Amino acid sequence: MDTQNIRNMVLAGVLIVVILFGWDTGVRYFYPNANKAPVAAASSAAPAPQASASAKPTREGGLIDAADQALEAKDLATALNPATRVPIAAPGLSGSINLVAAVVDDLLTNRHTASVEKNAGPQRIFSPAGTPAQQYAQFGWVSASGQPDPNLPGPATQWTVPAGAKLTPQSPITLSWTNATGQTFTLNYGIDTDYLITVTQTVTNAGAAPFMAKPYAQVARTDKTASVDIWNLHSGPFGTFDDKVSFGPNYKDVTDATQITNPGKTGWIGFTDIYWMSALVPDKSGATSDFRSLGNGLFRADLVYPLATIAPGQNQALTTRLFAGAKESSVLDKYEAAGIPNFGLAIDWGWFRWFEKPIFGLLKILFSLTHNFGVAIILLTLVVRGLMFPVAQKQFASMAAMKAIQPKMKAIQDRYKDDKAKQQEEVMALYKKEGVNPLAGCLPIFLQIPVFFALYKVLTLAVEMRHQPFVLWIKDLSAPDPLHVLNLFGLLPFTPPGFLAIGVLALLLGVSMYFQFKLNPAQMDPAQQQVFAFMPWIMMFVMAPFAAGLLIYWITSNFLTIAQQAYLYSRHPALKVQVTKATGG
């Protein structure tokens, strides 16, 4: 082997090491809990462990520290006193409204579970103020000066409601409170079958003088439960302003500024995680909005309406809508069609949503037929490969022709090894003479990249894919393969480090890619041959931390490619003979 080839081999080896260890470092930074089992909530009778300062948000979001989880369970048992609450029972949401201060602070999503474990309860969206996972919405009035006013309902106000009231899609409820000067405040709540609560705030002035107040609506939350916020996945404050969706600022920006006033017309405002969101949609009369840091990791999104003056004997009403729940694409699109601007874009599909949403739509159709998203992914792969079969035929012919002319290319390389320019000229002349296009084999790969990226985004963003099982040990297609070869699939009591956490799917990916590459044309440069020989195993390590559904797509595509090439060889035996001779087979 000459000096050039030795140098190439060394560079290839260095590249492999950089990819393996660099990838592991990146995965550990962005997904710090990817290979850790979920922390079980501690029993209230057991001493709570100390909080971990190094804990980072996860893709799922939620409380990470066991002490916070234990305290949350204990606080909820105390805070959710049914004597001071009005129950909520709807197909999409259940929970309650606190009659003290009229706070919507107890909401669970009935269609999504808290974990992948059997018998896991529903995913909690809102928790009362003061609990570790606090998140809640409130509707009320403030004085013109913004100072406390005993004639306005406040944090200690006990609202009244008819006996036996329950908020359901068929039965709205009304909370009321009357002050000492003759003004009656009412909050009328309605709920639909998904995640939208409609609140109408009304002031009726039965007093002798005009009454002034500013209606407001707000959502408050802690960042302890925030999901991971990285370059392509935003978690934090967001909204629509002047008909443009803004995925920002982040929590740190609000903390640094204390208050950020949003410019332009507010279409909606709130907070988002990867899978969940809470947002306020203002009355058509319009409102100003801002994000505020309340200290200690607490944040608030405000809608403040203009100061209203209610004459004696008159009333003033306006309606705000609250979304609190899962970011289901079809539900958000439905609300957008009903008039909430750009609500379907609350899922950050990015620039390629024009391609990602149709792929997701096709996946949902296939799921409706199979009732298994893993099978739907396999069928999607079949559809994609079927559509590209004509292109694949041309790719195959080009690959086979490339293999067949390898001896001639090797002769040119030997003849002009000291004249690279002449060597390249002769190789191009050979391509033209033999009718070979060396780039033709790359076309199907480039055509599949958008599909691969779209599926990656769907598995990353779509709550519909969360906790979707496939078969056997794959309980969540949106999460990495949970079984690792090095610890004998959980039999040995240790968790392999990220770059060695090779699961069964990653192993299948490497093996299938190895056999697929065996059908590709051999490279003239020995160093390049070595790089291509290592590539399947490099990709095995690189892809191991990715979602299981993505690996299933790639593995299926590899096996289909192998079967397709075997079929095409059977249709073109002459090419098979040429390749066998060229490669010494």
- What is the Cα gyration radius of the chain? 30
296 in the Ramachandran plot: left (φ > 0), alpha (ψ -120 to 50) or beta? left
Whether the pLDDT of residue 448 is over 60: the answer is yes
What are the pLDDT digits (tens) for 136-168?
999 999 999 889 899 999 999 999 999 999 999
Whether the pLDDT of residue 53 is over 50: the answer is no
The whole-angstrom separation of Cα 84 and Cα 158 is 9
Whether the pLDDT of residue 393 is over 80: the answer is no
Q: What is the DSSP letter of 500?
A: G
Whether the pLDDT of residue 522 is over 60: the answer is no
445 pLDDT band, cuts 50/70/90, is low
Average pLDDT estimate for 570-584: 57
The whole-angstrom separation of Cα 493 and Cα 387 is 46
Whether the pLDDT of residue 50 is over 60: the answer is no
Domain spans in the chain, listed from the N-terminal domain onward? 3-30+357-583, 66-348
What are the pLDDT digits (tens) for 323-359?
999 999 999 999 999 999 999 999 998 888 888 999 9
Quickly count: other Cβ atoms within 10 Å of residue 556's Cβ. 20
Query: What's residue 575's pLDDT?
Result: 58
What are the pLDDT digits (tens) for 169-221?
999 999 999 999 999 999 999 999 999 999 999 999 999 999 999 999 999 99
Average pLDDT estimate for 39-46: 32
CB-CB contact of 360 with 374 (8 Å): no
Average pLDDT estimate for 102-124: 93
Three-class secondary structure of residue 514 per DSSP: helix
Query: What's residue 267's pLDDT?
Result: 97
- Identify the CATH class of 66-348: mainly beta
85 pLDDT band, cuts 50/70/90, is very high
Query: What's residue 400's pLDDT?
Result: 67
Whether the pLDDT of residue 362 is over 80: the answer is yes
339 in the Ramachandran plot: left (φ > 0), alpha (ψ -120 to 50) or beta? left
Query: What's residue 30's pLDDT?
Result: 46
What's the predicted TM-score (pTM) here? 0.83
CA atoms within 13 A on the CB side of 114: 18
Average pLDDT estimate for 97-105: 97
Average pLDDT estimate for 289-313: 96
Query: What's residue 199's pLDDT?
Result: 98
Query: What's residue 498's pLDDT?
Result: 66
The residue that leads in pLDDT, 195 or 433, is 195
The whole-angstrom separation of Cα 317 and Cα 305 is 11
Query: What's residue 576's pLDDT?
Result: 58
The whole-angstrom separation of Cα 312 and Cα 315 is 8
Among 256-270, 315-329, 447-461, which stretch is predicted with the lowest mean pLDDT?
Answer: 447-461
CA atoms within 13 A on the CB side of 463: 26
Spacing of C-alpha 488 from chain mean position: 30
Three-class secondary structure of residue 537 per DSSP: helix
CB-CB contact of 78 with 244 (8 Å): no
Query: What's residue 476's pLDDT?
Result: 94
Average pLDDT estimate for 65-83: 91
The whole-angstrom separation of Cα 324 and Cα 107 is 8
Q: State the DSSP string of 387-442.
A: HTHHHHHHHHHHHHHHHHTHHHHHHHHHHTTT-HHHHHHHHHHHHHHHT--TTGGG
The residue that leads in pLDDT, 480 or 197, is 197
The whole-angstrom separation of Cα 461 and Cα 332 is 14
Average pLDDT estimate for 71-88: 92
Query: What's residue 585's pLDDT?
Result: 52
Whether the pLDDT of residue 94 is over 60: the answer is yes
Strands of the sheet containing 236-241, edge to edge, are 173-178, 183-191, 196-205, 315-326, 276-281, 266-272, 236-241, 244-246
